[in-house]
Amino acid sequence: MSGFPPDIIAAAQTSHHAYPTCLASLSLAQWAVESAWGTHSPGNNPFGIKHMTGFPDQVFHTHEVVHGQRVAVDCTFAAFPSIVDAFTAHAALIATRPQYAPAIAKLPDVTAYVTALAHVYATDPNYAHLILSIINGHDLTQYDGG
């Protein structure tokens, strides 16, 4: 058992079926990291997705890594009507934005995929390691099939 809530697993699998190049395992691990295991998801946005056309905006104080330094910033984030909408928007972002194409080209190698995607998605230089440790530690690739 992965320890992830059933509704979160279902949302990740639904978004993966809609956008197969965004693995459910990636979405689940990013949900865990970005939302502190579901404890922080303002506006049903557990991924920290910044402004996204078609969704209302919300401004929050956050931290980014800039030139190797963690700095406090105010950023505009998307708000979603539901958690399923957030997972679907996340999958659409990964599957359709050209900056993620080099990562998608690494599939089916999950490690290479996450490593290539991480430096585009997040400013944290340890992001790939963190995501992969959650994927591997919770056997999340079991949710990528079917």
- Segment 41-62, tens digit of pLDDT: 888 999 988 888 889 898 988 7
User: What are the DSSP E strand ranges found in the chain?
Assistant: 57-66, 69-78
Helix (H), strand (E) counts: the chain: 6, 2
Residues 6-27: pLDDT tens digits?
999 999 999 999 999 999 999 9
Of residues 71 and 129, which shows the higher confidence score?
A: 129
Q: What is the pLDDT of residue 1?
A: 45
User: Tokens representing 127?
Assistant: 């992001």
Sequence ranges of the domains in the chain: 6-42+83-142
Mean pLDDT of the chain: 92
Q: Give the pTM.
A: 0.87
User: Tokens representing 18?
Assistant: 């809609």
Q: How far apart are CA 45 and CA 23, in angstroms?
A: 18
Element (H, E) at 13: helix 6-18
Q: How far apart are CA 131 and CA 27, in angstroms?
A: 10
In the block, tokens 């599939």 appear at 107
User: Tokens representing 109?
Assistant: 């190698």
The CATH code that applies to domain 6-42+83-142 is 1.10.530.10
Considering the chain, what percentage of its residues have pLDDT values greater than 70?
Answer: 98
pLDDT band at 146 (very low <50, low <70, confident <90, very high): low
CA–centroid distance for 73 within its chain:
20
Q: How far apart are CA 26 and CA 131, in angstroms?
A: 7
